[in-house]
C-alpha cells in the first residue's frame, strides 16, 4: 500500500480512544469559557476574564471519553442565563423537575452573576453605561399629542418616546408646512421632519388608519406607532378661547382623543409654557419635551474635581505604591474611593499639618487607580506667557490646557474666573514657544445680550470683531506681561500674536477640518447640542478644542442650563481618556466683579 500504515477498525469504545490518540494533538491547558452575562447588553465582569486555566490530563481523555464533553456541558449549564430557564424564560415550557435536579447534581457551584458582584468590579464600564436610567413604564402605552414646536425643536423627537404612540393633528402638519422655507435652524428642522414623515408614510405595508410603525426606518428603540388625524374630531372648548387659533385647535384634539380613548392616558407634549398652562386649566394632561435636557438640575453637573476624604491616607495608605517618572510622582491607590473616580478627574487632599496632594486620575483598572501629580503653575518659575494661576481650580485648568494628551477641555465658571485668559496664554505658549500647534482659531456664538444692532460691514474677521472684545482685552493683558523688551519689542510681539490668531464665524464651519490647530470656542453656553457636535467634529489630527462658558449667562432663547450644548459636552465627555473638565469656583477679575456675581 505504498508504505502507509492503516490501523484496523476498532471494535470497542476503548479501541476507538486508542485509535484517536494516534492522531491527537498535544494536550494544552483548557481555557474555560467565562460565564455568560446575566441579562442582555450586560458586560462581563473583570473576574470572568481572570479565570485561571485548567489543565486536562491525558488520563481523563483515555479513561473517560465523555469527560471533556461533560466539562463543556457543565460550563454551559453553570451560567446564570441557563439557571434562569423555567416557566417564565422566553415563553418556553418548563423543564421536568427530575432533569433540573439531575443537572444541579452534576453542576459545580455557579459563579456569581453580574448583579451580585460589587460595583467596584464594573469600573471598566464607560461613564455613559453607568448613567442612571429612567424607570421603565409598566402600564399601558400612552398616546402623546405633539405640538408643532416640539417637531421644530428636535426633528428626531418622533423616535424618542419608546413604546408609546404619537398622534399628529392636521393643524400641526399645516404649521409645519409654513415653517419649511428659509435657511434658519427652524426651517431646516421643519424640512427634516417633513422628510421623516414622508418616509414613514411611504413605507411598504404601512396603514395610516391603523398607525405607522416607528421602527420601520431603523430606529429600534421606537416601539410605538404614529397616528395622523384622518377624520374630524368633535370637541367643545370654552367660548373664551378663539376657535381659529392653532393652539386652541390642538387643545380641542387632545380633549376629543381623551374622551375617545378613555381610560388610556392622552398627554399633550409642548415647549410652549402658556399652552401647557391652558391645557392644565382645561384638565388635560400635558408635559414639556424633556429629551433634550441633559440634566434636570444644574447642580448635578460634573465639576471635574473631587476632594479626598480627611482619612484618605489612613484608609488607603497601607496599599499605596508610588514611583517617580521625570518631574511627576505616580501613586497606585486601592481602596473604597476608587469606584467614585473617573479618568482625568482632578483630586486634591488638603489638611492642616499634613502635606497637600494635587493629582489627576490617569488610569482605573477594577479596584485600582493611578494618580499623577500636577505641575504647580502658581509659582512664578512655571508662569505661562507671564501668567501664574491664583487658586487651586485655575491650576487644575492650566494642567489640562497644557497636557498634549488631552484633546478636549471644557471650562465653566462665573464671570472673571480667568477662563479666556488661561486658554489664550496656554495657546500662545504651545503655538509660539512649543510649536505644538500651527495657529489659534477663536470662535463664539453671536448671540447678543440686547437688541441686534444690524448688519456689520467688512470681511468675516471684521464682522466678528465687535463680538471679540473679550479676546482683545485679554490680548492686551498678555501683551503687558513682557516688560523687558521695550515699546518696540512689545509692538512686534503683538503683531506676531495677531498673525497667529484667526477669528472665524460659526456659520462657515460646516465641512471644515482643522489640522494641528488650537481651537477656542468662547461663550459655548449659548450653543445647542447640535451646534456643539458640529464644532467638535471639525477637529482633525493634532487639534485641541477648548470650550468655555458660564451657564448662568445663557442668552439663547429656549436654552436652559440643562439643555445647553456646553452641559451636553461636559456630561458626554466625562471619563474619556483624552478629555478633561474643570469648574472654576473663584473669580479673580476684581472685587467689584466678584461681589456683583454673588449678589446680582
> pLDDT digit string (tens) for 127-173?
443 444 445 556 788 999 999 999 998 889 999 898 899 999 999 99
**What one-character-per-residue DSSP string does 91-126 give?**
TPPPPPHHHHHHHHHHSPPPPPPGGGS-GGGGTTS-
Provide CATH code, domain 397-599: 3.40.50.300
Q: Is residue 232 very low, low, confident or very high in pLDDT (cuts 50, 70, 90)?
A: confident
Confidence of residue 391 (pLDDT cuts 50, 70, 90): very high
Distances (CA, A) of 447 to 107, 451, 463, 525: 67, 10, 13, 11
- Domain residue limits, the chain: 29-108, 143-287, 303-373, 397-599
Say what the pLDDT of residue 457 is: 73
Comparing 203-207, 322-326, 351-355, 575-579, the range with the smallest average pLDDT is: 203-207
User: What percent of the chain is predicted at pLDDT more than 70?
Assistant: 71
- Examine residue 341 and say whether the peptide bond preceding it is cis (omega within 30 degrees of 0): no
DSSP class of residue 132 equals -
- Give dist(CA 526, CA 501) in Å, integer: 22
What's the rounded Cα separation, in Å, for the pair 554 and 286?
Answer: 26
The pLDDT-based confidence of 236 (bands split at 50, 70, 90) is confident
Q: Are strands 544-549 and 408-413 parallel, antiparallel or unpaired?
A: parallel
Grid coordinates representing 303 are 465639576
143-287 and 303-373 have identical folds? no
> Residues with Cβ < 8 Å from 187, sequence gap 6 or more?
179, 180, 181
Sorting pLDDT into bands at 50, 70 and 90, what band is 101? very low
What are residue 32's phi and psi, to 5 degrees?
Answer: -70, 150
Average pLDDT of the residues in 336-357: 92
Contact in structure between 340 and 328 (CB atoms under 8 Å): no
Query: Does the model's pTM come out above 0.85?
Result: no
- Can you name the CATH fold of 143-287? Rossmann fold (3.40.50)
* For residue 20, pLDDT beyond 80: no
pLDDT at 538: 92
Q: List Cα–Cα distances, 499 to 469, 493, 579, in angstroms.
A: 17, 10, 28
> Alpha-carbon distance 274 to 341, whole Å?
43
pLDDT at 213 over 70: yes
pLDDT at 417 over 70: yes
For the segment 390-416, the average pLDDT, to the nearest whole number, is 94
CATH architecture of 303-373: Beta Barrel (2.40)
Contact 371, 359 (CB under 8 A): yes
State the alpha helices, DSSP H only, in 168-219. Answer: 170-178, 185-201
Amino acid at each position: 500500500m505504498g508504505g502507509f500504515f492503516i490501523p484496523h477498525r476498532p471494535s470497542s469504545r476503548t479501541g476507538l480512544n486508542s485509535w484517536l490518540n494516534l492522531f491527537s494533538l498535544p494536550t494544552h491547558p483548557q481555557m474555560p469559557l467565562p460565564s455568560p452575562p446575566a441579562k442582555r447588553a450586560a458586560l462581563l465582569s473583570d473576574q470572568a476574564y481572570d479565570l485561571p486555566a485548567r489543565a486536562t490530563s491525558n488520563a481523563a481523555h483515555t479513561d473517560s471519553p465523555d469527560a471533556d464533553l461533560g466539562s463543556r456541558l457543565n460550563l454551559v449549564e453553570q451560567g446564570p442565563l441557563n439557571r434562569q430557564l423555567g416557566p417564565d424564560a422566553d415563553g418556553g415550557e418548563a423543564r421536568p423537575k427530575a432533569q433540573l435536579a439531575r443537572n444541579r447534581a452534576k453542576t459545580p457551584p455557579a459563579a456569581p452573576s453580574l448583579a451580585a458582584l460589587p460595583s467596584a468590579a464594573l469600573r471598566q464600564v464607560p461613564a455613559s453605561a453607568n448613567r442612571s436610567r429612567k424607570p421603565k413604564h409598566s402600564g399601558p402605552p400612552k398616546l402623546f399629542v405633539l405640538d408643532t414646536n416640539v417637531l421644530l425643536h428636535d426633528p428626531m423627537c418622533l423616535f424618542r418616546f419608546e413604546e408609546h404612540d404619537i398622534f399628529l393633528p392636521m393643524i400641526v402638519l399645516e404649521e409645519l408646512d409654513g415653517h419649511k422655507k428659509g435657511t434658519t435652524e427652524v426651517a431646516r428642522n421643519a424640512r427634516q421632519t417633513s422628510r421623516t414623515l414622508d418616509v414613514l408614510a411611504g413605507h411598504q405595508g404601512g396603514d395610516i388608519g391603523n398607525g405607522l410603525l416607528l421602527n420601520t426606518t431603523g430606529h429600534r428603540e421606537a416601539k410605538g406607532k404614529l397616528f395622523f388625524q384622518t377624520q374630524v374630531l368633535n370637541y367643545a372648548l370654552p367660548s373664551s378661547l378663539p376657535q381659529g387659533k392653532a393652539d386652541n385647535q390642538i387643545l380641542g384634539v387632545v380633549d376629543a382623543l381623551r374622551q375617545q380613548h378613555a381610560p388610556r392616558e392622552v398627554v399633550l407634549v409642548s415647549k410652549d409654557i402658556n399652552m401647557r398652562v391652558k391645557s392644565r386649566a382645561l384638565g388635560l394632561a400635558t408635559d414639556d419635551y424633556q429629551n433634550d435636557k441633559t440634566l434636570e438640575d444644574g447642580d448635578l453637573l460634573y465639576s471635574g474635581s473631587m476632594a479626598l476624604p480627611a482619612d484618605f491616607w489612613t484608609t488607603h495608605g497601607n496599599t499605596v505604591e508610588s514611583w517617580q517618572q521625570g518631574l511627576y510622582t505616580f501613586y497606585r491607590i486601592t481602596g473604597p474611593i476608587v469606584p467614585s473616580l473617573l479618568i482625568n478627574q482632578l483630586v486634591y487632599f488638603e489638611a492642616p499639618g499634613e502635606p497637600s496632594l494635587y493629582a489627576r486620575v490617569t488610569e482605573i483598572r477594577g479596584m485600582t487607580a493611578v494618580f499623577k501629580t500636577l505641575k504647580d503653575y502658581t509659582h512664578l518659575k512655571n508662569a505661562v506667557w507671564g501668567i501664574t494661576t491664583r487658586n487651586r481650580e485655575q491650576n487644575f485648568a492650566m494642567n489640562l490646557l497644557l497636557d498634549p494628551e488631552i484633546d478636549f477641555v471644557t471650562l465653566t465658571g462665573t464671570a472673571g474666573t480667568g477662563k479666556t485668559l488661561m486658554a489664550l496664554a496656554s495657546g500662545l505658549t504651545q503655538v509660539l514657544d512649543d510649536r505644538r500647534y500651527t495657529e489659534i482659531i477663536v470662535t463664539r456664538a453671536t448671540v447678543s445680550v440686547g437688541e441686534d444692532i444690524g448688519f456689520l460691514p467688512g470681511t468675516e474677521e471684521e464682522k466678528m470683531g465687535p463680538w471679540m472684545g473679550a479676546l482683545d482685552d485679554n490680548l492686551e493683558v498678555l501683551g503687558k506681561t513682557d516688560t523687558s523688551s521695550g515699546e518696540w519689542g512689545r509692538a512686534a510681539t503683538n503683531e506676531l500674536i495677531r498673525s497667529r490668531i484667526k477669528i472665524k464665524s460659526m456659520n462657515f464651519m460646516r465641512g471644515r477640518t482643522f489640522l494641528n490647530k488650537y481651537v477656542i470656542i468662547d461663550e459655548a453656553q449659548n450653543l445647542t447640542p447640535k451646534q456643539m457636535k458640529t464644532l467638535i467634529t471639525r477637529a482633525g489630527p493634532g487639534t485641541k478644542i477648548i470650550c468655555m462658558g458660564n451657564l448662568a449667562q445663557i442668552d439663547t432663547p429656549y436654552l436652559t442650563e440643562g439643555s445647553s450644548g456646553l452641559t451636553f459636552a461636559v456630561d458626554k465627555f466625562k471619563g474619556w481618556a483624552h478629555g478633561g473638565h474643570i469648574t472654576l469656583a473663584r473669580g479673580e477679575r476684581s472685587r467689584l466683579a466678584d461681589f456683583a456675581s454673588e449678589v446680582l
